[in-house]
């Protein structure tokens, strides 16, 4: 467990200081261009950004996506994240709970998070490798109970495990394990990649397993292959990990494919979102929520006030995007006209907008 804790802390340092972010434009979101409305006929301040998620009302369609560090550092980060989420009225997903569930330091992953977050949704988190094991369901239940979570994220990271020394190599039976947990757990399950994306084909398979919430986490943000390359202890390991630093499906393409494949699903966009305009673009492509992680990490380290200030900027950017497309709310934004190719002909597939 100490090795896992050290690795998590190294991950945090590398994400903050290393060259591990995707190149500009790899998410594909910058190709989404809205048709400008020069006479919006609405009040900027009256725009409604609220939405429902996991039976709770959010003030804005944002998710503080899964982040963590070493056990000691994680405690203060998680408490700050929960407090900011509660203040802002947005959802909050914790990082992997594996260390805490295996008897190590909790990293602040306790019911204190619920007290800080108040009524907003909190999402627990486990890796697919842990779910696949014989104790998968019991671990899932423990993760949810540990923080009084409204849902459980099961994260998929096969590439990271493949290039990580000592990573989990056997992924056979993962879908069956997911289905077992989905059918037995008392709260919804969210399936999330960690930066390589989820295809339309996999989304359909997940839907057949009973999954109704998918976080695409596409190419465009942190490259975990690049992170593992930074951690590599030999030129051999570094070379292999570096080969795959740009591997994955761009976030924009994931959103279009997953929404087309699973029109009734709740879709979360993450992977390279850095601004409120990116969130608007993602929502237009079919997302229900926009997830932010690495882009807000420096603010998270500075505490709750800094994180609240950062999200205030993101919220205002999203509001302005709605204003300048003549969108009074998120439903209107989902059908806002686009210009240019190749994304201007994106079908209006979101169930909220179907006749």
* 3-class secondary-structure state, position 348: coil
Sequential pLDDT tens for the chain (355 residues): 456 667 667 777 777 677 888 888 899 999 999 999 999 999 999 999 999 999 999 999 999 997 765 566 678 888 889 999 999 999 999 988 888 888 766 667 888 899 999 999 999 999 999 999 889 999 999 999 999 999 999 999 999 999 998 899 999 999 999 999 999 999 999 999 999 999 999 999 999 999 999 999 999 999 999 999 988 889 999 999 999 999 999 999 999 999 999 999 999 999 999 999 999 999 999 999 999 987 787 787 777 788 999 999 999 999 999 999 999 999 999 999 999 855 545 554 555 554 3
All structural domains of the chain: 2-353 (3.20.20.70)
Q: Which residues pair with 338 in a beta bridge?
A: 34
Q: What is the pLDDT of residue 352?
A: 58
Whole-prediction pTM: 0.92
User: Which residues contact residue 265 at a Cβ distance below 8 angstroms, ignoring those fewer than 6 apart?
Assistant: 203, 207, 211, 212, 213, 214, 258, 259
Q: Dump the DSSP string for 273-313.
A: --SHHHHHHHHHTT-SEEEESGGGHHHHHT-HHHHHHHHHH
State the DSSP code for 106.
-
Helix (H) or strand (E) segment spanning residue 123: strand 122-127
């Amino acid at each position: 467990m100490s090795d896992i804790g050290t690795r998590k802390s190294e991950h945090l340092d590398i994400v903050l200081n290393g060259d591990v972010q995707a190149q500009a434009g790899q998410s594909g979101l910058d190709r989404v261009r809205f048709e400008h409305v020069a006479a919006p006929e609405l009040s900027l301040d009256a725009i409604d950004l609220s939405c429902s998620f996991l039976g709770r009302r959010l003030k804005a369609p944002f998710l503080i996506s899964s982040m963590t560090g070493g056990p000691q550092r994680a405690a203060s980060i998680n408490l700050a994240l929960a407090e900011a989420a509660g203040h802002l009225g947005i959802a909050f997903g914790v990082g992997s709970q594996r260390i805490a569930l295996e008897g190590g330091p909790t990293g602040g992953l306790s019911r204190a998070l619920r007290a800080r977050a108040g009524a907003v949704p909190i999402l627990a988190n486990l890796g697919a490798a842990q779910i696949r094991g014989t104790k998968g369901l019991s671990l899932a239940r423990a993760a949810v109970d540990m923080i009084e979570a409204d849902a459980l994220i099961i994260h998929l990271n096969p590439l990271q495990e493949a290039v990580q020394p000592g990573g989990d190599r056997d992924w056979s039976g993962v879908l069956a394990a997911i289905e077992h947990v989905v059918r037995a757990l008392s709260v919804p399950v969210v399936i999330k990649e960690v930066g390589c994306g989820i295809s339309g084909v996999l989304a359909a398979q997940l839907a057949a397993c009973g999954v109704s919430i998918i976080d695409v986490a596409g190419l465009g943000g942190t490259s975990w292959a690049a992170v593992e390359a930074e951690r590599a202890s030999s030129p051999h390991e570094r070379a292999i990990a570096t080969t795959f630093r740009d591997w994955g499906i761009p976030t924009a393409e994931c959103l279009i494919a997953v929404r087309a494949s699973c029109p009734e699903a709740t879709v979360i966009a993450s992977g390279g979102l850095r601004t409120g305009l990116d969130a608007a673009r993602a929502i237009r492509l079919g997302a229900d929520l926009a997830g932010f992680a690495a882009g807000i990490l420096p603010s998270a380290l500075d505490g709750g006030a800094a994180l609240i200030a950062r999200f205030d900027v993101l919220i205002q950017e999203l509001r302005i995007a709605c204003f300048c497309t003549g969108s009074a709310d998120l439903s209107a934004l989902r059908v806002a006209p686009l210009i240019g190719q190749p994304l201007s002909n994106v079908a209006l597939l979101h169930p909220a907008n179907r006749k």
